Structure 1
Amino acid sequence: MALVGYARVSSVGQSLEIQEKALSEAGCEKIFAEKRSGLTAKGRRQLEDALDYVREGDTFIVTRLDRLARSVGDLFAIIERLQGKGVAFRCLQQSGVDTDSSTGRLMMAILGAVAAFEADIRKERQLEGIARAKARGVYKGRKRQIDAHEIRTLQEAGMGPSAIAKKMSIGRASVYRYLAKEPQ
């Protein structure tokens, strides 16, 4: 019966240190950690490895519920997978969130729904802010990363799309896209 921890932050600039320390102090013998978005469970290699690693009788621990999942669907899929293996679940900073009792399962459902609601509200506010900025003429979107003039100049000099992409350190598909929409 092992305690297995999982830590996650959303971006490369954030630190996993605090979560890893809390999980170690909670007695986790093995900790899986990654820097990936939590909007979906897909593509989170360390989470997959952790879920494969745990065995019957183990306890899977996270510091906060939103470190595990941001959607109620993902949360319950993960918990169902753990329960199917006979693995308990515990959340350190949200005491009472566990799979050992009906109250713990209820708390987990409520907090999971609140986390999903918060993510939706945050996205709505962001889109509203962008719409207001566009209406004021302030928001122009992301700045162009590719110098279209340079692509055309290199092509006119006889360079092919693959060579242009390599020289400009951009994807070959980007060069093809640009050349397809520009008149010859």
Structure 2
Amino acid sequence: MGRKFGYARISSDQGQDLASQRMKLEELGAMVVFSDIGNGSTLVGRDGLDSLLKLLEPGDEVISLHPDRIGRDTADLLTVGKRIVERKAVLRIHDPQIVFDGSDFMGEVLLTLFGMVGSIEKHFIKARQRRGIEAAKAKGIYKGRPPSIDPVRVRELHQQGMGPTAIAKNLKIARASVYRALAA
């Protein structure tokens, strides 16, 4: 019999808490719970999930409370599910009950279905967000996200002889952002 691992994710630590997910996953038998804080619309930057997937051995089980904790679209859900099965382990989702071990076509159908539901939900969230932003702009309340890059500092470093790659590393920003700041 393999080991049972839990996977929990919250979108942000602003008003959300991993503790309730951890507790439920432990009740379901998870000996260790891996977790991430971040947007569910991408698998990029999910260090907890990456660590969990690397640790899996044949016979292990990954438990998640809901499909959207793993991914908010079909491609991500199936990618994670298949990576688990490649390790000869099993993905078990608690609610709704889905077991994906690669041997049952219905497991893949259910992951696909709930991935589609997640995609639809993500679409509606973005649409509501856009409507809210437009309403706030109309009232003069919304000014946009504050700049995360200081173009003056980018130009200063460039004038000191620092190249774009070095500036990007120094300021912990993307090199493309450096080029945009220099071109502005």
TM bucket, shorter chain: 0.7 to 0.9
Query: 1:133 matched to which residue of 2?
Result: 136
Tell me how far 1:37 sits from its aligned partner: 1.8
Contact 2:61 2:89 in 1 (8 A): yes
Corresponding residue number in structure 2 for 1:155: none
Residue 117 (structure 2) pairs with residue 114 (structure 1): yes
1:20 to partner: Cα distance: 0.4
Equivalent residue number for residue 49 of structure 2: 47
Contact residue 71 and residue 112 of structure 1 kept, 8 A: yes
The runs of 5 or more residues in structure 2 that have no matched partner are 159-170
Q: 1:26 and 2:28 equivalent?
A: yes
- TM (norm. structure 2) is 0.74
State which structure, 1 or 2, has the greater radius of gyration over its C-alpha atoms. Answer: 1
Cα–Cα, structure 1 residues 105 and 138, in superposed 2: closer, same or farther, change >3 Å?
same
> Shift in Å at residue 84 of structure 1?
1.2
* Cα distance in structure 1, aligned partners of 2:131 and 2:70: 28
- Partner SS state of residue 41, structure 2: coil
Q: CA RMSD in A?
A: 3.2
Query: Do 2:78 and 2:108's aligned partners in 1 also have CA atoms closer than 8 Å?
Result: no
TM-score, normalising length: structure 1 = 0.74
In structure 2, C-alpha distance between the alignment counterparts of 1:50 and 1:19, rounded to whole Å: 16
Q: Which moved more, 1:126-135 or 1:58-67?
A: 126-135
The runs of 4+ residues in structure 1 deviating greater than 6 Å are: 144-148, 172-180
Q: Secondary structure at the match of 1:57?
A: coil
Separation in 1 of the partners of 2:47 and 2:92? 21
Correspondence 1:32-181 to 2 at 5 A: 32-95=34-97, 97-100=98-101, 101-142=104-145, 171=171
How many angstroms does 1:141 deviate by? 2.1
